[in-house]
Amino acid sequence: MFAERLSRARVVMADQDVDAMVLSVGADLPYFCGYEAMPLERLTLLVVPRDSDASLIVPFLEAPRVVERPGVFDIVSWKDGENAITLAARLIGDVDKVAVGDQTWAGFLVDLSTELPGTQFIRASEVTTPIRSIKDTAEVEALRAAGSAVDRIAAQIQAGQIPLVGRTEAEVSAHIGHRIIEEGHQKVNFAIVASGPNAASPHHEPGDRMIRPGEAVLFDFGGTMADAHGVGYCSDITRCVHIGEPSPGFAALYEVLVASHAAGLSAATVGTACEVVDAVTRSVIDDAGYGEFFIHRTGHGIGVEAHEHPNIVVGNDLPLVPGHAFSIEPGIYVPGEWGARLEDIVVAAVAGPDAMNLADHGLALVDG
Ligand code: ZN
Ligand code: ZN
Ligand code: ZN
């Protein structure tokens, strides 16, 4: 599978006249070779020449972490005291154009460009995005497994099985993080718990605010779950609950949100431009008079990264193709008062939009 992914990368490299691609910290590396670099100061670098075999440069003391994959890459380890950049430059060669992983430490790129003064560097995402953004069947199943896992946690929250009243947001967030791991993820990416007026801040940091009866609580959480090859795929879901009866105002706002989300989901068909899906969710919220309070794009792509391409945003005229995986997550945020968001991961498919999250979309009323 990794060899096949690398050969697809080489096809795109040939198209774009890229002589070599180098990948370090970030999600491209595990996607193309099954290894994740430690985000430290020692250089880890997969060097993929367009016309010869790939090498994984890895610090000697981290070499035992590497699963050997003959036919995918050779391992080239370096010891403290050796110059890893010189080694990398030698493996890359004196070439014209190199695609470098977008999340590679800037320091390494600066040193590499000093070592290779005649080389032009471009972002590796120009090579990797067209490949990574279209998921194959196994990847869709990995996203579905991660989606089902967070669905089970959402259902627990909606059933009132995770205590809220009298606990702080941070405590509930830690509880959800624990459940994310219990449900089979290896990593917690985030567990936003935003109570009452805090939900008006879309990326609220859960803090020491005590959750009280009579208010809404927004939960947005996800993690990374390994597939059969040890490559992690992300989950991401948002649901809201209300502790006791909601005010008519909040209930009305939430109904608009449900309608907006449903409209976006059914619009996400193959051939529809990403920006059209965004316009569809937005128009429902605009028509209800809340337009100014929907302050972000409708969604983001998802896969080995929690946020990747394609974005469901104005200006992105890319038509959806089978295998595009992304969130539909309209939100309405009234500063100082309340906020709500509803989010599912969806995959575009010939048979119609395929939702990875099936947890109930309604505003669950809980006792606390
Ligand atoms: Zn977000
Ligand atoms: Zn989310
Ligand atoms: Zn999201």
95 CA distance to ligand 1 middle (Å): 40
Instruction: Count CB-CB contacts under 10 A for residue 240.
Output: 27
Q: What is the pLDDT of residues 42-91, one digit of tens each?
A: 999 999 999 999 999 999 999 999 999 999 999 999 999 999 999 999 99
How many residues in the chain?
A: 368
Instruction: Count CB-CB contacts under 10 A for residue 307.
Output: 15
CATH of 2-131 given 3.30.70.920, 3.30.70.520, 3.40.50.1220, 3.40.350.10: 3.40.350.10
Q: What percent of the chain has pLDDT over 90?
A: 100
Predicted confidence at residue 110, as pLDDT, reads 97
Give me the mean pLDDT over the 94-117 stretch: 97
Q: What is the pLDDT of residues 122-144, one digit of tens each?
A: 999 999 999 999 999 999 999 99
Predicted confidence at residue 24, as pLDDT, reads 98
CATH number of 133-366: 3.90.230.10
- Cα–Cα distance measured from residue 108 to residue 92, given in angstroms and rounded to the nearest whole number: 14
- Taking the CA of 306 as reference, the closest ligand is 3
Give me the mean pLDDT over the 242-260 stretch: 96
368 pLDDT exceeds 90? no
- Model confidence at 278, pLDDT cuts 50, 70, 90, reads very high
Q: What is the largest CA-CA distance in the chain?
A: 68
Q: What is the pLDDT of residues 309-343, one digit of tens each?
A: 999 999 999 999 999 999 999 999 999 999 999 99
Give me the mean pLDDT over the 344-351 stretch: 98
Give me the mean pLDDT over the 259-277 stretch: 98
- Taking the CA of 345 as reference, the closest ligand is 3
16 pLDDT exceeds 80? yes
257 CA distance to ligand 2 middle (Å): 15
302 CA distance to ligand 3 middle (Å): 8
229 pLDDT exceeds 80? yes
202 CA distance to ligand 1 middle (Å): 7
Helical axes 106-115 vs 84-92, angle rounded to 10°: 60
Mean pLDDT of the chain: 97
| Strand order across the beta sheet in which 308-312 lies | 308-312, 299-301, 325-328, 344-347, 354-355
- Model confidence at 36, pLDDT cuts 50, 70, 90, reads very high
Dump strand ranges (E) for 227-270.
232-234, 237-243
| Domain locations in the chain as residue ranges | 2-131, 133-366
- Cα–Cα distance measured from residue 19 to residue 16, given in angstroms and rounded to the nearest whole number: 9
- Model confidence at 204, pLDDT cuts 50, 70, 90, reads very high
Predicted confidence at residue 351, as pLDDT, reads 98
Please list all protein residues whose beta carbon sits less than 5 angstroms from ligand 2, which is an ion: 220, 236, 238, 343
